[in-house]
Amino acid sequence: MPRLYGTWRSRATRPLWLAGEIGLDLDIVPVWQAYRIDDPLAPEAPLNTRSPAFLAISPAGTVPVLDDDGLILGESLAITLHMARRWGGDLGPRDEGENALMEHWALYGATAIEDAALALQTLHGEGRQETDAGRAGIAALLARLARPLAVLEGHLARDGQMVGGRFSVADINMAEIIRYATAEPAALAPWPAIAGWLARCQSRPAFKAMWARRLAEPARP
């Protein structure tokens, strides 16, 4: 059985949501982010992203990590794309053209959107949104996101889904990236096609099950 290292409050949501969609059993090994632990190197600390035992598996020291029969992948989007090709049926690519598009959108999300979207979530998580600096930060981040979100809006208004006119791993990857931005309530107001598509993605039973597990997980061990 493939093994997934990570916690539900991490980018492991991406492979965990996909596994729920396709009914794939994973051997889930909890690995906490080190910043959630007071002394991550203490002998009694739970397995975490600074534990030597985990770094021996993935020296990048981040989660999620997939071990598929000795094939180790330590990038969440590489993990989901691999899972979809190997076990995903129609949630994976039907041909090389779809494969290329699924990779294209994963890379676009990771390089053009994720940083600014995550910064919006962090700003709100730290309660800075009501300060002058926070408001200026939000405006700057929304300005950075304007072009890539316009690209995504045009694509979804035309096609309805990321790739192939059906729900696929490409939707999971992009929806989980866009989710960060929704910490800012105004983020999707100019983008109705993105907002409608995200709501449809998040209404799926496998997303809801993943989200319930995530909320049930404590923030710290």
Q: Are 28 and 4 in contact (CB under 8 A)?
A: yes
51 lies in the binding site for ligand GSH (CB under 6 A): no
168 lies in the binding site for ligand GSH (CB under 6 A): no
- Measured in degrees and rounded to the nearest 5, phi and psi for residue 183 equal -60, -30
From the list 82, 96, 86, 67, the residue with the least C-alpha distance to 173 is 82
182 lies in the binding site for ligand GSH (CB under 6 A): no
Q: Based on CB atoms, which residue is closest to ligand GSH, 76 or 168?
A: 76
Among 51, 58, 62, 168, binds ligand GSH (CB under 6 A): 62
Q: Based on CB atoms, which residue is closest to ligand GSH, 35 or 190?
A: 35
Among 4, 11, 102, 113, binds ligand GSH (CB under 6 A): 11
Window of 59-67, 128-136, 162-170, 208-216 that interacts with ligand GSH by CB under 6 A: 59-67
Q: Based on CB atoms, which residue is closest to ligand GSH, 3 or 200?
A: 3
| Own/partner long-range contacts of 52-61 (Cβ < 8 Å, ≥24 apart) | 54/5, 57/5, 58/5, 61/34
29 lies in the binding site for ligand GSH (CB under 6 A): no
13 lies in the binding site for ligand GSH (CB under 6 A): no
Q: Based on CB atoms, which residue is closest to ligand GSH, 33 or 168?
A: 33
Say which residues have a Cβ less than 8 Å from residue 118's Cβ, sequence separation at least 6.
180
176 lies in the binding site for ligand GSH (CB under 6 A): no
Q: Based on CB atoms, which residue is closest to ligand GSH, 90 or 217?
A: 217
From the list 76, 72, 106, the residue with the least C-alpha distance to 10 is 76
Residue type, 60: A
What's CA 128's distance to the chain center, in Å? 23
Please state whether beta strands 3-5 and 71-73 pair in parallel, antiparallel, or not at all (unpaired): unpaired
Binding region for ligand GSH (CB under 6 A): 10-11, 33-35, 49, 61-63, 75-77
